[in-house]
Amino acid sequence: MPRLDSFDRHLAALQPLLGEWGYLAVFVFIFIEGIGIPAPGQTLLMAGALLASRGELALGPLVATALAAAALGNAAGFEIGRRGGRPLLLRFARGDRLARVEAVFRRSDAALVSLGRFVDGARQLNGIAAGALGMDGQRFLAWNLFGAALWSFFWGIGTWIFGRDLDVIARTLHVARPVLLLVVPTAIALLLGWLLWRRGRPGPEPR
């Protein structure tokens, strides 16, 4: 699997950086990724978690550092988008097209801010986009913090538990997502229907 080999090479290249700079390297790379600058923040978090599994770093401070850097980085990106992103947005979308983009974002802003962090590209730009599209500041901060915690726990604790296999698991789930999106809601609907049917059945008549 060439992609996994590449992933291993990235981990091997980043581990000396972690050995010298530790949690500071994790914070800086994840923070600058959050303001829209491409950086291997997620890979660095995974490399740190692998070192933590060998006792070379502490898992708790690593995850806390990643959470703080992710939340603050996207919050800085939000301010950048709020103050200067609107004119740039108007260069690419005007009139009805901009209105459609804003309508979609308003309907899904919580999911885009919190879960978009798991998607390359969206992780770097969701703060800037939220600011440029006028998302409420307090709402953004709440969902941004939730997403940062979810992302940090998933990749930090998940890598600590599963090691390099977590990358394979995550990519497999990504490929299977269309099937899961169909199967899971269908299963939930069937279960709810069965429970309602059972509830509506008359009980046994008393003797």
Q: Are residues 19 and 85 both part of a single domain?
A: yes
22 and 100 belong to one structural domain: yes
Residue 77 lies in a domain: yes
Torsion over CA of 125, 58, 158 and 72, rounded to 10 degrees? -20
Q: What is the pLDDT of residue 99?
A: 62
Is residue 28 situated within a structural domain?
yes
**Residues 17, 116 within the same domain:** yes
**One domain for residues 158 and 56:** yes
pLDDT at residue number 4: 46
Give yes or no: residues 90 and 10 share one domain: yes
Distance of CA 116 to the CA centre of its chain: 5
Specify the pLDDT at position 8. 63
Same-domain pairing of 101 and 127: yes
107 lies in the same domain as 193? no
| Residues 122/116, Cβ–Cβ less than 8 Å | yes
Residues 69 and 19 in one domain: yes
Residue 187 domain flag: yes
Tokens of 190: 């069937």
Give domain status of residue 207, yes or no.
no
C-alpha span between 205 and 75 (Å, rounded): 63
Does the global pTM surpass 0.75? no
Find the domain containing 17 and state its range. 2-163
108 shares a domain with 192: no
- d(C-alpha 64, C-alpha 146), whole Å: 13
Residue 48 has what pLDDT? Answer: 87
Q: What is the pLDDT along the chain (207 residues), one digit of tens a residue?
A: 334 455 566 667 777 788 788 899 999 999 999 888 888 888 889 888 888 888 888 999 999 999 999 999 999 989 988 887 666 655 555 556 556 666 666 777 787 888 888 877 778 888 888 888 878 889 999 999 999 999 999 888 888 887 655 555 555 544 544 544 455 455 555 655 665 565 555 555 555
